[in-house]
């Protein structure tokens, strides 16, 4: 009854509710007209009307496809991935990757360049903008076809403000209005988040969409986590949720962290910390990549430190499991390339310290991310933000309203 009342209330604004249908289509819950009617609990007539608006606006396609379950081809509804493009950027400590994606997202064109973040935010964002302009021209796309901009950053991010807060490795970035700068340059909205959340977003949406309670750990140069609750990224009150790398363990005798504190998880288990401990033993190593290369040579000193690192990470993850009760933990980052050397230590501590109720259905797996995952995570964040239901309602109204006005003018 409530949905029927809503249909009547929205009659004066016919485009209202189109965004809700698009969200169901994008999630896979509304892959056909019948499924869409069931998932939305709207009448088939209302679904058909709102779908017609989405078709006319160019946001949705419908085609005959054979479903994985087999049988006759069915009429399948999908987001039109060619509707717009997204500018995405993945900012690392020593490199910047800039790409243009469609709305699937698939990378259509990209550029990877060495870049020193110490040059500051203005120089970095200028580089990103110039590369994005070059890629758009290469694809023969204009700014008017850009849905939005997404940026992945190796630092804590105040998500609502779009600003880095207290970065340990990004001198001059603290409080800089990253999203405002890019929005002014391109005339579209921009979003930014920390790299771990965006790696987690890509991993979840690509491989673990059915896992509503999901925990992603990045173990590389730094240590961090991305948390999903109810199928959505959980950032906490200000964007600091998941910063497990700076939880302190044994402060009195703890090693000095890059953040200036003693005993942080990162200072005990990150790639740079393992490299530091290897140098003490006379083995040359500078970073996480060197650690992985030595592990591939089966150096016993490295394998021992990796397992120790896994146990440290496992200790803090076990606390998170007891608090959050995820169904899946995925471990990614450079150190995860050592596979069982790191993962065995994590599993050991998690299953040892957590209660059976929290672990009996828990799956712990390695990530399937690649070098473009940060870029694709930034694109996904942009797509999901810019195609939120209320924004889609406005977008459809603007597009169809403009077309109606043009048709009226043509017949006047």
76 with 109, same domain: the answer is: no
* 255-284 confidence digits (pLDDT tens): 999 888 999 999 999 999 999 999 999 999
CATH of the domain at 91: 3.30.420.40
Q: Is residue 401 part of a domain?
A: no
In the numeric block, the tokens 């740079």 are attached to 272
This model's pTM is above 0.85: yes
The per-residue pLDDT for 304 is 97
Domain for residue 198, yes or no?
no
Say if 52 falls within a structural domain.
Answer: yes
| pLDDT surpassing 60 at residue 2 | no
Query: Phi, psi (5° rounding) for residue 183?
Result: -65, -40
If one counts the domains in the chain, the total is 3
What is the span of the domain harbouring residue 102?
85-188+373-386
Instruction: Return the ∠ at Cα 382 (arms to 15 and 23), rounded to 5°.
Output: 40
Counting residues of the chain whose pLDDT is more than 90, the rounded percentage is 83
Read off the pLDDT of residues 162-186 as tens digits, 9 standing for 90 and up: 999 988 778 889 999 999 999 999 9
Please state the rounded mean pLDDT for residues 299-322.
97
Q: Where are the alpha helices (DSSP H) in 354-388?
A: 356-359, 373-386
3-state helix, strand, coil in the chain (%, to 5): 50, 20, 30
Looking at the structure, tell me whether residues 61 and 92 fall in a common domain.
no
Rounded CA separation 198/226 (Å): 8
Residues 61, 137 share a domain: no
Determine the pLDDT at residue 263: 94
CA distances (Å), 133 to each of 128, 273, 344, 386, in order? 9, 39, 45, 20
Mean pLDDT, the chain, rounded, equals 92
Residue 355 lies in a domain: yes
Pairing of strands 328-332, 363-366: parallel
Q: Which of 80, 112, 147 is the last residue of a domain?
A: 80
pLDDT of residue 376: 99
Can you tell me the mean pLDDT for 249-260? 87
Looking at the structure, tell me whether residues 223 and 351 fall in a common domain: yes
| Section 24-31 average pLDDT | 94
Residue 408: pLDDT band (50, 70, 90) is very low
**Residue 1 pLDDT exceeds 50:** no
Chain segment 181-216, per-residue pLDDT in tens: 999 999 999 999 999 999 999 999 999 999 999 999
Domain assignment present for residue 392? The answer is no
The answer to whether residues 33 and 94 belong to one domain is: no
Rounded CA separation 164/225 (Å): 17
Helices and strands of the chain, counted as H and E runs: 15, 14
Closest CA to 79 of 143, 6, 28: 28
Distance in angstroms (rounded) separating the CA atoms of residues 45 and 31 = 17
Residue 264: strand pairing partners: 248
Higher-scoring residue by pLDDT: 16, 396: 396
Structure confidence by residue, pLDDT tens digits, 338-389: 989 999 999 999 999 999 999 999 999 999 988 999 999 999 999 999 999 9
398 falls within a domain: no
Both structure tokens of 32: 């056909």
Residue 9: pLDDT band (50, 70, 90) is: very low
Question: Strands of 95-101's sheet, edge to edge?
Answer: 107-114, 95-101, 85-91, 146-153, 190-194
User: What pLDDT is attached to residue 409?
Assistant: 46
What's the CA angle centered on 370, arms 368 and 372, to 5 degrees? 135
**Paired tokens of 200:** 């987690």
**220 and 179 in a common domain:** no
- Give the pLDDT confidence of 33-71 residue by residue, as tens digits: 999 999 999 999 999 999 999 999 999 999 888 666 666
Final residue of a structural domain among 32, 61, 80: 80
DSSP 3-state of 89: strand
Nearest to 332 by CA among 197, 213, 232: 197
Place of tokens 């490299």: 275
């Amino acid at each position: 009854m409530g949905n029927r009342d809503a249909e009547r209330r929205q009659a004066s604004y016919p485009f209202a509710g189109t965004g809700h249908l698009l969200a169901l289509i994008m999630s896979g819950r509304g892959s056909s007209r019948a499924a869409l009617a069931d998932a939305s609990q709207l009448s088939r007539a209302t679904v058909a009307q709102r779908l017609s608006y989405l078709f006319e606006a160019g946001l949705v396609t419908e085609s005959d496809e054979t479903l994985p379950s087999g049988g006759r081809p069915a009429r399948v509804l999908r987001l039109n991935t060619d509707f717009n493009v997204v500018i995405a950027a993945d900012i690392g400590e020593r490199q910047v990757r800039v790409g243009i994606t469609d709305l699937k997202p698939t990378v259509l064109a990209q550029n990877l360049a060495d870049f020193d973040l110490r040059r500051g935010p203005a120089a970095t964002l200028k580089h990103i903008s110039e590369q994005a302009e070059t890629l758009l021209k290469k694809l023969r796309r204009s700014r008017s076809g850009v849905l939005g901009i997404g940026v992945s950053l190796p630092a804590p991010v105040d998500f609502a403000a779009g600003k880095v807060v207290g970065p340990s490795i990004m001198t001059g970035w603290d409080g800089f209005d990253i999203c405002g700068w890019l929005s002014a340059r391109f005339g579209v909205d921009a979003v930014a988040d920390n790299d771990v959340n965006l790696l987690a977003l890509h991993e979840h949406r690509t491989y673990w969409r059915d896992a509503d309670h999901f925990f992603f750990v990045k173990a590389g140069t730094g240590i961090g986590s991305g948390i999903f609750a109810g199928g959505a990224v959980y950032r906490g009150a200000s964007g600091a949720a998941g910063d497990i790398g700076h939880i302190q363990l044994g402060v009195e005798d703890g090693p000095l962290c890059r953040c200036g504190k003693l005993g942080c998880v990162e200072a005990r288990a990150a790639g740079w910390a393992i490299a530091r401990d290897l140098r003490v033993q006379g083995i040359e190593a500078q970073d996480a990549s060197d650690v992985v290369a030595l592990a591939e040579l089966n150096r016993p000193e490295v394998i021992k430190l990796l397992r120790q690192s896994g146990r440290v990470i496992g200790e803090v993850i076990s606390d998170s499991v007891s608090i959050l009760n995820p169904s899946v933990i995925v471990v990614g980052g450079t150190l995860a390339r050592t596979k069982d050397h790191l993962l065995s230590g994590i599993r050991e501590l998690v299953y040892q310290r957590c209660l059976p109720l929290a672990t009996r259905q828990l799956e712990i797996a390695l990530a399937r991310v690649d070098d473009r995952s940060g870029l694709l995570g930034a694109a996904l964040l942009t797509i999901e933000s810019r195609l939120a239901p209320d924004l889609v309602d406005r977008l459809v109204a603007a597009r169809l309203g403009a077309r109606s006005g043009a048709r009226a003018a043509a017949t006047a």
